[in-house]
Amino acid sequence: MTVLLALVVLASCKSGTEPASIPQFEAQAIDLPGVPNARQFGGYVIGDRQVRMDVLLRTGALANASEEALQSLHDRYKLALVADFRTSQERGKFADRIVEGTRYVWFPVLEKLLKVEDNADMEAVHINKDNPSFTLELLKRPAVQKYLRSTYDTIVFDEDYQRSYAAFLDSLVALPEGRAALWHCSHGKDRGGWGSAFVLAALGADRELIVADFGMSNIPYAKDIDELVSLAQSEGLADEMREDIYLLRGVSVPSFEKTLDSIDVRYGSLDNYLEQALLLTPEERAVMQDKFLVSR
């Protein structure tokens, strides 16, 4: 693949959790004050084409979006669709702010895992972002570790969540010409990251770009990651907890690639997964490629 963007080299940790290199975050970042991890696909090179600018946006939740951000999404991006992968609990606590004239669609992922009555510890992990000491105590619990380490496989292989992603891709196929789509979860990294992987794969991106885009989420959350790693180091737990910290506060590229490998084992390829699990037909992929890719 010809890489359009400069590479930023990150220091490798002992566990190898961080990616060795990723496309430059600033080249994909978009200015939406109050919206975390806001970036777009525009400019990514895929084969002999590249992704159209300002039409495919991946972000965190819009609950704290500023008036400036809402106006930009309306005026500059001509936003037509917001796809929300969050649970009903997350949506109830942190409702998206509304961009006028935009269709909001709910495609729940992890709805079954994040119910307070069934998984109080897991819910607590997600809502106690500003309490690292409490979070570290939770991360010591085997049930929480098991949940975090299985999340990517659950997102990809649970049939209910496959239906959510299938409906999401259908919404992009039907997106009006000249309008933008935005998809998000809470922090725009795991559920939103997998949605992004599926979109890139549908557009014909290779694994290198898909992995690089996923790993880019570690940049906006670097401070949160480092804070928790430092706290774990103070207790002599950094090495054994580093992977779980990345799964919670950022993303784990090795775990992401492991799940991609599992897709290959079960389905033969990511392309087959799109067709068999997410029911995306070759004709629909062609529509997406014609709509979202332009000549270089």
- Sequential pLDDT tens for the chain (296 residues): 333 332 232 333 333 344 333 457 888 999 999 999 999 999 999 999 999 999 999 999 999 999 999 999 999 999 999 999 999 989 999 999 999 999 999 999 999 875 544 466 666 666 656 688 888 888 888 888 888 999 999 999 999 999 999 999 999 999 999 999 999 999 999 999 999 999 999 999 999 999 999 999 999 999 999 999 999 999 988 788 999 999 999 999 999 999 999 999 999 999 999 999 999 999 999 999 999 999 99
**pLDDT value at residue 291:** 98
Q: How many CB atoms neighbour CB 250 within 10 A?
A: 25
Phi-psi bin for 105: left (phi > 0), alpha (psi -120 to 50), beta?
Answer: beta
Burial class (CB in 10 A: 0-12, 13-18, 19+), 259: buried
**pLDDT value at residue 246:** 94
Q: Are 88 and 108 in contact (CB under 8 A)?
A: yes
DSSP assignment letter at 218 = G
**pLDDT value at residue 130:** 67
**pLDDT value at residue 131:** 80
**pLDDT value at residue 12:** 30
Q: What are phi and psi of 51, to 5 degrees?
A: -70, 135
Q: Are 28 and 41 in contact (CB under 8 A)?
A: yes
